[in-house]
Structure 1
Amino acid sequence: ARAILENLKDTTNVHLIYANVTYEDILLKEELDSLAAKYPGRFKVYYILNQVSCLFFVAILCFHIYRASLTPAGLWDGGVGFVSKEMIQTHCPAPAPDIRVLRCGPSPMNKAMTGHLDALGYSPDMQF
């Protein structure tokens, strides 16, 4: 993503759905967040966790019950569970001739993503 964004002649927009098991598993989060802040119109990242740790639930509980000095920015605001068709629809552009979808992950995830993308109308020549 960085090479695309830093190339002044490249006008490609990048939408990243980044799924991990836990928050601690998110690699390069600071760098990705920095790119999203620096290129808000061209780079969007949406994080999904399979498991949200007890720490997040305790923080949310404190925020709601005690109205502690926690801010919503300090709480998990990404997705929870597995990547769904609805998440793809919400966080990625609709199928179009100039759209490309790059998948990277374990085989079961790629198989599920192929099914979701097919169902949403992304043709095989749009998927890599």
Structure 2
Amino acid sequence: VFPDVTKRPWAGRLTDEFKSGACHAGQYESSVVLAERPDLVREEKRRSLPANDVSLSLAIRDGKASFHDAGGPQAYFGFPAAATSDEGRRTIDVLGSILQEAVLLQMEADHAATQGG
């Protein structure tokens, strides 16, 4: 089971930055990394990065083929300086709930299919 968190019903449960599409190495992803592997984050660099509110998802839809062309010359979108480990833990909890619900929905669908309904 691989729930597509970019679509309903899951997307609305994630952070505002995620929903904006400006979320590559921004607050959303950086928060998750801070929660699980803070040793991988260059804190001084992260805190110094200005917000980049360009939507990467819209840029991809519009045919942009590189981060630079998409509006992210430093390869990030969003606001990494605002990331916190607390937000990351909350996001991980939400993602876990989404996966659990998706598995249960699939199990129900499989059961219904084997019962002829």
TM category (shorter chain) comes to under 0.3
TM-score normalized by the length of structure 2: 0.24
Task: Choose between structure 1 and 2: higher helix proportion.
Answer: 2
TM-score normalized by the length of structure 1: 0.23
- Greater relative contact order: 1 or 2 (C-alpha under 8 angstroms, separation 6 or more)? 2
